[in-house]
Structure 1
Amino acid sequence: MSGRYRLTSIETVRESGSWLFRIRDAHGAREEVILVPCEESGVEAWSNNCTHEDQRLHREGVGATIRNSGIVCPRHGSIFDTCSGDCDNGEAAGTTLPSVEVTVEDGQVYLTDDDVDYLGSGGFDDSSGDDGPDSTSHLQL
């Protein structure tokens, strides 16, 4: 699919605490992904949804809540390790966030996951029809 794409710098991720971008997988599904600081690798990339419920971990204008090297789910408080994606507490205990492959080189972060295409930075704005057709239905409920 996309190959290698420069996303941002490690410095930007560290300063903001998290950085959000959009991808499309091989099946056409669109997804939000967050970059978070990781002491071991510089940054890691995870699906922007809690594994327990469809709850965004990084929210536009707020970012992701990072506490003691963990991404905190704003709904139930489950904490996912920033480096492994593993959760050992709360409603999501025993699960791991799906990862997206990134590479760090000379302080820059690159999307290197061959199974996805880069769609853009930031999250999906469902009201804008971003990267997809709007509904053509005229039904009102």
Structure 2
Amino acid sequence: MVEGTRIASVEDVPEVGSYLFTAEDAFTNEREVILVRCETEPGIEAWINNCTHENQRLDRGSGAAMRDGEIICPKHGSMFDSCSGECDNGEAAGTTLPGVEIAVEDDGVFLSDDNYTFLRVGGVEDDGGPDSTSHIGF
């Protein structure tokens, strides 16, 4: 029996795209996490939903863009391997997405990372304001 919180069924994770959920880290920060299909066991990996180059969400609520087993940053086009999280091109070249430990068992995907607590399916609830990539703060 896997220890951890059930996040989704394996069938919930699309063949292309991602499954988005929100978890709380050890410092009580809400973090978006994506589940993506992977060719290596256990067949699904979990990554923090941010490009390593710039604070850009990979999945903006309708699934991450993917091509040939790679997650594509929607802003600069950097591509991250869905199995390793590594990027070898674009602005994020040489970086790796931060991973979140999961377990897959009996058609279920479980959050098994002691540094995170599952909160809910879907993204972090924002204040309803516009998304901005500006470096100017108000």
Normalised by the length of structure 2, the TM-score is: 0.86
Aligned residues: 126
> 1:12 is aligned with what amino acid?
D
Q: For residues 32-47 of structure 1, what are the structure 2 equivalents within 5 Å?
A: 32-40=32-40, 41-47=42-48
Matched residue SS, 2:104:
strand
Matched residue SS, 1:14:
coil
**How many angstroms does 1:34 deviate by?**
0.2
Q: Deviations over 1:15-34 (max 9, x none)?
A: 56210011111112211000
Q: Deviations over 1:60-97 (max 9, x none)?
A: 1x210010000000000000000000000000000000
Measure, in 1, the Cα distance between the counterparts of 2:13 and 2:28.
Answer: 27
Match for residue 134 of structure 1? none
Inter-CA distance 5–97: structure 2 relative to 1 (3 Å threshold): same
Measure, in 1, the Cα distance between the counterparts of 2:5 and 2:16.
Answer: 20
Q: CA RMSD in A?
A: 1.5
Match for residue 63 of structure 2? 63
Gaps of 5+ in 1: 129-140
> 1:22 is aligned with what amino acid?
T
Measure, in 1, the Cα distance between the counterparts of 2:13 and 2:30.
Answer: 22
Match for residue 91 of structure 1? 91
Inter-CA distance 80–16: structure 2 relative to 1 (3 Å threshold): closer
Runs of 4+ in structure 1 displaced over 2 angstroms?
Answer: 14-17
> 1:34 is aligned with what amino acid?
I
Matched residue SS, 1:58:
coil
Measure, in 1, the Cα distance between the counterparts of 2:10 and 2:67.
Answer: 18
Measure, in 2, the Cα distance between the counterparts of 1:19 and 1:87.
Answer: 20
Higher share of residues assigned helix:
1
**How many angstroms does 1:44 deviate by?**
0.2
Q: For residues 1-141 of structure 1, what are the structure 2 equivalents within 5 Å?
A: 4-15=4-15, 17-40=17-40, 41-60=42-61, 62-127=62-127
Percentage of identical aligned residues: 56
Gaps of 5+ in 2: 129-137
> 1:50 is aligned with what amino acid?
C
